[in-house]
Every structure is written in structure tokens, then in C-alpha cells.
Amino acid sequence: MSVVVVGGGLAGARTVEHLRAGGYGERVVLLAQETELPYERPPLSKGYLQGTDPRERARVHDEGWYAEHDVDLRLGVTAAQLDLGAQDVLDADGTRHGFEHLVLATGSEPRRLTVPGADLDGVLALRTLDDSDRLRAAIDRATRVVVVGGGWIGLEVAAAARTAGRHVALVVRGALPLDRVLGPQTAPLFADLHREHGVDLRLRADVAELVPDGGGSRVGGVLLADGTLLEADLVVAAVGAAPRVGLAERAGLTVQDGVVVDQHLRASAPHVLAVGDVARAHHPFYGTHLRVEHWDNAQHQPATAAATILGRDEPYTRLPYFYTDQYDLGMEYVGWAGHDGRGYDEVVVRGDAAARELVVFWLHGRRVVAGMNVNVWDVNDDIRALVTSRAVVDPRALADAQVPLPEVARRA
Ligand code: FAD
């Protein structure tokens, strides 16, 4: 009788925590490929990268916690194969770990650049604490940094490098950074923020090649498809992440850009669950499967996984949520506005966009489907309630900062 959790990130560490908190009294094993105690990743592109947050602050639990809670934490152990028939996980040394329940929390890994020169020295990606250490040291030494990719991590790294005083160019494939997530009305907010801080934005730009410095093994520049050469002594590839599904796929579990699980986080084979970045979970509120690559999801899905193992019927219904910090801008986003702008037909702004103190709402059929508060605090729960209520709202009341958000829903 035991639960084996594969993956010692936030989702894995919270899973073992919720199992114990829920009264699971049998053996709990946590197989963690990294040699670090399980940690949270958001600081790696923010305070930790900038040298303001200590390493320990990223830890999910301190060192003593695992022993105190009788969790058999195996650092530096990679699960290599699942034998679902025998209910065993085989690690890379061939040791078998028998399970009554298996939780996959293998997370995701950065996509790599596939252009010529992508393996030159001075081309870095960011996922782990070690990556963040390497990146911080490289930023310290660098003069010109090129960040490839205008997603959240690319923007946060660009902000860190600018804050450190480096020349920074940001290469973005689309018309604007984040335009697929935020849409054309809202994405300029972040583009303007970075321009004001002196980032050289290269839009609708494709990387053709990374060129070595003087024919050596270190990167010297980024050649764009239009022939522009951006000088660089540090290139950061921030081109998204892919779920780590190899184990699940080889074991024959249903995988579709993530391990497909139901609202109780149960995968396609009995006794197997998945949580966090790797899980594509059925979301009852949206009536579809979603894979959410954000901290909040890895933080909260484990309670549902533990409940399922403990025989409680507690589907995962929490709305997607994420946050970012860049320069002096902090924002939170809750809800889901569909893929590529297909999930909304109206955008409403409340507050002062010029001062970057605002709330943006995405609506579909006059119902709020997502909201983002920027440098405005203590409103995220109200936005969440608006989305959850599915209330038809008056866009003028929504835009009017004098009307409290709970009142907007009541007036509907
Ligand atoms: P992971 O954190 O990826 O952990 C999975 C772990 O499993 C890894 O340690 C991996 O080594 C291990 N593993 C994989 N395969 C095996 C195996 N076969 N055997 C054993 N172990 C294995 N989200 C936000 O909402 N806001 C932010 O500001 C934010 N900032 C971020 C900044 C950075 C730099 C990064 C990388 C991510 C950020 N995120 C942010 C996303 C957030 O960190 C992730 O959603 C979260 O880490 C997912 O947790 P997880 O436990 O599912 O996966």
C-alpha cells in the first residue's frame, strides 16, 4: 500500500502534503529527478534571478518537513518506466517502486531553439534553479542580451536584464508580445512598458540562425530571417515549454499535449493520476479539457488528487489564475478567454490605462470570461466571482471604477 508521486516540483510536493493532511497513513514516495528540495519556479525569473530573493525562499518545504511527515523523498532519482500491470515504477537504476496509486507530476520542460547555432555557448534557457544561477552569472557578464520569445518568461527575463543595466533586444514572432494571450487591445500595455524601459522590441521577427563570435564556440549574434543581425553575447531562448509526457506515453496512457485526466485528475488507467503542468484536466466550468502551465494550478490541483486517492468526490473546479511582476508592474489574471482570442467578443477597461492602474475584462455575450488587474490590488476575488457567476453585465457599470465589482454583478 503506497502512493508514488513522480516529479518533485510544486505539484509533487503539494500532493504529498495533501495526502498527509488528509490522513493518508500508508507509505508515500516522492521521486524527484532534481537534486534540490522541491521548489517553486516563479522567483527564478524574478527576485531570485535579480539576486534579491534567497534560494531557500523558493522551497516548498524545508528540509526537515519530508522526514517529519514520513515522506520518502528520493532526490536525484528519475522514474524511467511505468509498469501499470504490475503497479510498479522503475527508476533509472532499475529499482521498482510499487504503488497502489501513482501521481504523475512531471511538469514541463523548455522548448529548445532548433535553428543553426542553438547549441553555442552563451545560449541559455530557464527552467531550474541551476538555470537561473547560470543566467544570473551570464547577465552579470553580458553587454548585449537577446531574448527570443515574447511570453511571460521572456518578458520577465528581459526586465531582469534591463534592470541590471544590460542592452536588451526582445525578438517576438507575433505582432506584439503576449498578443495571443491578451489580444490586440491589451497586449500593447506590456510592449509599451518594455519600450519605456529601453528594450529594443523586434516584432514579427523570426530567428534564422545564431552566429558565433568570430568563428568560435560562443554566440556573437542573432540573425533574423529578414537579414538583420542583432549583436549578442547572451541569448535567452524563452520559446515556451512542453509537458513531460514521455513516461505516460510509453506506458500507453492517453496523452494529448499533456496527460489527459478527468475532473478528479484520474488518467486513462486505473490508479493513475496527473497534476500540475503535465495534466490536461477536464474542467467542469468550461466543459472542456485544459492544460494550465501556471503556479496556481500546480499549487491547488494536488488537493483534488489527494482527495481522489482518499476516496472523496472533490472535482477540480478552480478557475485558471496566473501572475507576473515586471519592473514596477504587478498583475494577476483569472479566467480563460479561449485560444487566440476566440473566446471573447468584447474588452472592457476600468481604471487608468495611462498610469497602468487598471482592470481589463474579457467578455463573451456580455458575460465576463476573464479579468486582469494591473497594479490594482484586492480585486481578484471579485473578478473571480464575476466570472464564476456567469452573470450578464452592463459594460458601462463594469468600466465605471465608482461601481464596486460585486455591485456590477447584482445590477445585471
Ligand atoms: P515542474 O515545476 O516542472 O516540476 C516537475 C518536476 O518533475 C521537475 O523537478 C522535474 O525534474 C521532475 N521530473 C520530470 N520527470 C521526472 C521523472 N521521470 N522522474 C522524476 N522526476 C521527474 N507561473 C505563474 O503562474 N506565475 C509566474 O510568475 C511564473 N513564473 C515562472 C517562472 C519560470 C522561470 C518558470 C520556469 C515557470 C514559471 N511559472 C509561473 C510556471 C510555474 O512555475 C509552473 O506552472 C509550475 O512550476 C508547475 O509545477 P509542476 O510541479 O507541475 O512542474
Q: Do 61 and 133 sit in the same domain of this protein?
A: no
Question: Cβ neighbours of residue 171 under 8 Å, at least 6 residues apart?
Answer: 146, 147, 148, 149, 150, 202, 205, 207, 222, 224, 230
Q: Do 99 and 248 sit in the same domain of this protein?
A: yes
- What is the total count of domains within the chain? 3
- Measured in Å, residue 291 CA sits from the centre of ligand 1 at 13
Which residues' Cβ are closer than 6 Å to ligand 1? 6-12, 31-34, 41-42, 44-45, 78-79, 105-108, 126-127, 153, 244, 247, 276-277, 293-296, 298, 322-324
Q: Probe ligand 1: pick from 17, 18, 295, max atoms within 8 Å of CB?
A: 295
216 φ, ψ (degrees, to nearest 5): -85, -160
Q: Do 132 and 233 sit in the same domain of this protein?
A: yes
Q: Do 225 and 260 sit in the same domain of this protein?
A: no
pLDDT means per 10 residues, the chain with 412 residues, are: 96 98 98 98 98 96 97 98 98 96 98 97 98 98 98 98 98 96 95 98 98 94 98 98 98 98 98 98 96 98 98 98 97 91 92 96 96 97 96 96 91 70
Q: Rounded distance, CA 225 to CA 234, Å?
A: 19
Q: Residue 412: what pLDDT?
A: 65
Question: Cβ neighbours of residue 326 under 8 Å, at least 6 residues apart?
Answer: 155, 156, 159, 190, 193, 194
Q: Do 100 and 128 sit in the same domain of this protein?
A: no
Q: Which of 80, 111, 87 is nearest to 101 (CA)?
A: 87
411 φ, ψ (degrees, to nearest 5): -75, -10
Cα 295 to Cα 5, 43, 49, 118, 183: the distances in Å are: 18, 11, 17, 28, 22
The label of the residue with cell 484520474 reads: 266
Q: Residue 340: what pLDDT?
A: 74
Q: Rounded distance, CA 376 to CA 331, Å?
A: 8
Q: Do 127 and 232 sit in the same domain of this protein?
A: yes
Phi/psi region, residue 66 (left: phi>0; alpha: psi -120 to 50; beta: rest), is: alpha
Q: Residue 136: what pLDDT?
A: 98
Q: Do 299 and 333 sit in the same domain of this protein?
A: no
Instruction: Look at residue 401 and tell me if it is in a domain.
Output: yes
Q: Do 19 and 91 sit in the same domain of this protein?
A: yes
